[in-house]
């Protein structure tokens, strides 16, 4: 985050100008197009009641906030970022596996992991990162089929990433100790919201590229030939994430809309109810430019 930008002064000007959406040009100019830096600063200021480190909040607060804003309006979404991140991580559901108590957490991370790592950046043309929209992500399947199964809905084209799902496992003992450290187990699923479809359906997308990103992140050498070679993950070949009787899928619409998301604690059964008609094609994410988003998402009058 640039240190020479007076975010507090900028924020006062934004408020005076009538809000975030009316001030996007000003924000981009003042921050040298580092809009995300300003949004992160503003979100930290808005989160007046953060949960203690390591604590989790029920997802009810998140659901209520999502139901109250227009997810297809960047301005409305910008204004509510602090509330969306305020109580993260969110507790979605609980389960028991043998002697282990499991809590399904939604970590408020971006969905960059859904973007395939660039294996040949010199031969690919990308827009400057400053041109990329900081909130939305494009999705598409990486393979095509000659016949479309109507029972398996197509993945949404533009989504708002809410975060990634992990299991927090704690040994089920009769006496807990403050020294007991929970174990985090990745599910490789990201939760996203369709910002184009009516009602904003909620989806889970499997990250096939987690293993590839892990290698890239941990390899410090310059010799690409020496880089460890790993294959992308296949959810069908991985152990079931949620229930031994329910096979993993690449994509699935878990709630038909934000309104269908229970305001009471979600259960694993509710999250997996539609897995039987989930998508079986690899899904990849794509960064979107401000222009691409502006051409599709038109603010409500």
Lowest mean pLDDT among 55-69, 136-150, 187-201, 238-252: 136-150
Confidence of residue 19 (pLDDT cuts 50, 70, 90): low
The answer to whether 54 and 114 are in contact (CB under 8 A) is no
pTM of the model: 0.73
User: What is the rounded radius of gyration, in angstroms, for the C-alpha atoms of the chain?
Assistant: 20
The answer to whether 248 and 208 are in contact (CB under 8 A) is no
> What confidence score (pLDDT) does residue 27 get?
79
Q: Does 159 lie in the same domain as 60?
A: yes
Q: Does 10 lie in the same domain as 100?
A: no
> Which residues on adjacent β-strands are paired with residue 100?
97, 171
> Which residues on adjacent β-strands are paired with residue 139?
285
Q: What residues contact 224, with CB distance under 8 A and at least 6 apart?
A: none
> What confidence score (pLDDT) does residue 1 get?
42
Residue 226 tokens read as 């020496």
Q: Could you identify the residue written with the tokens 């300003």? A: 38
The answer to whether 185 and 97 are in contact (CB under 8 A) is no
Q: Give one word for 18, left, alpha or beta, with left for phi > 0 and alpha for psi -120 to 50.
A: left
Percent of the chain past pLDDT 90, that is, above it, reads 26
Instruction: State the burial class of residue 242 (Cβ atoms within 10 Å of its Cβ: 0-12, 13-18, 19+).
Output: buried
- Report d(CA 159, CA 143) in Å as an integer: 19
* Coil vs helix vs strand at 166: strand
Residue 50 tokens read as 């953060």
Q: Is residue 254 a part of any domain in this protein?
A: yes
Using the predicted structure, report yes or no on whether residue 269 has a pLDDT greater than 60.
yes
Residue 70: CB atoms within 10 A of its CB come to 15
Average pLDDT, the chain: 75
Q: Does 169 lie in the same domain as 70?
A: yes
Q: Does 35 lie in the same domain as 126?
A: no
- Report d(CA 230, CA 215) in Å as an integer: 8
Q: Does 138 lie in the same domain as 239?
A: yes
Confidence of residue 301 (pLDDT cuts 50, 70, 90): very low
Q: Does 155 lie in the same domain as 271?
A: yes
- Tell whether omega for the bond before 89 is within 30 degrees of 0, i.e. cis: yes
Using the predicted structure, report yes or no on whether residue 100 has a pLDDT greater than 80.
yes
> What confidence score (pLDDT) does residue 150 get?
63
The answer to whether 191 and 162 are in contact (CB under 8 A) is yes
Number of domains in the chain: 2
Q: Does 222 lie in the same domain as 157?
A: yes
End-to-end CA distance of the chain: 33
Please give the torsion angle defined by the CA atoms of residues 4, 46, 205 and 200, in that order, rounded to the nearest 10 degrees. -120
Percent of the chain past pLDDT 70, that is, above it, reads 68
Q: What DSSP character marks residue 282?
A: -
Residue 166, domain extent: 52-296
Q: Is residue 301 a part of any domain in this protein?
A: no
């Amino acid at each position: 985050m640039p240190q020479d930008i007076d975010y507090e002064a900028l924020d006062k000007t934004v408020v005076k100008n009538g809000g975030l959406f009316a001030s996007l040009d000003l924000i981009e100019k003042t921050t040298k197009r580092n809009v995300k830096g300003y949004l992160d600063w503003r979100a930290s200021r808005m989160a007046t009641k953060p949960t203690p480190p390591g604590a989790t909040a029920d997802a009810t607060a998140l659901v209520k906030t999502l139901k109250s804003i227009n997810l297809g309006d960047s301005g409305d979404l910008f204004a509510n970022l602090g509330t969306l991140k305020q109580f993260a991580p969110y507790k979605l559901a609980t389960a028991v596996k043998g002697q282990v108590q499991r809590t399904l957490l939604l970590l408020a991370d971006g969905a960059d992991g859904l973007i395939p790592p660039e294996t040949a950046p010199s031969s690919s043309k990308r827009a400057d990162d400053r041109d990329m929209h900081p909130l939305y992500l494009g999705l598409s399947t990486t393979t095509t089929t000659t016949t479309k199964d109507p029972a398996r809905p197509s993945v949404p084209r533009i989504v708002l990433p809410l975060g990634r799902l992990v299991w927090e496992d704690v040994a089920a003992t009769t006496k807990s100790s403050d020294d007991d450290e929970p174990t985090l187990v990745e599910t490789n699923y990201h939760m996203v919201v369709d910002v184009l479809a009516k009602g904003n359906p909620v989806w889970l997308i499997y990250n096939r590229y987690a293993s590839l990103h892990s290698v890239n992140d941990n390899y410090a050498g310059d010799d690409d030939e020496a880089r460890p070679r790993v294959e992308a993950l296949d959810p069908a070949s991985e152990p079931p994430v949620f229930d031994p009787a329910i096979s993993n899928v690449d994509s699935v619409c878990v709630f038909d809309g934000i309104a269908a998301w229970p305001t009471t604690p979600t259960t694993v059964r509710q999250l997996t109810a539609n897995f039987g008609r989930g998508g079986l094609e690899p899904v990849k994410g794509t960064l979107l430019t401000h222009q691409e988003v502006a051409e599709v998402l038109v603010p409500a009058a």
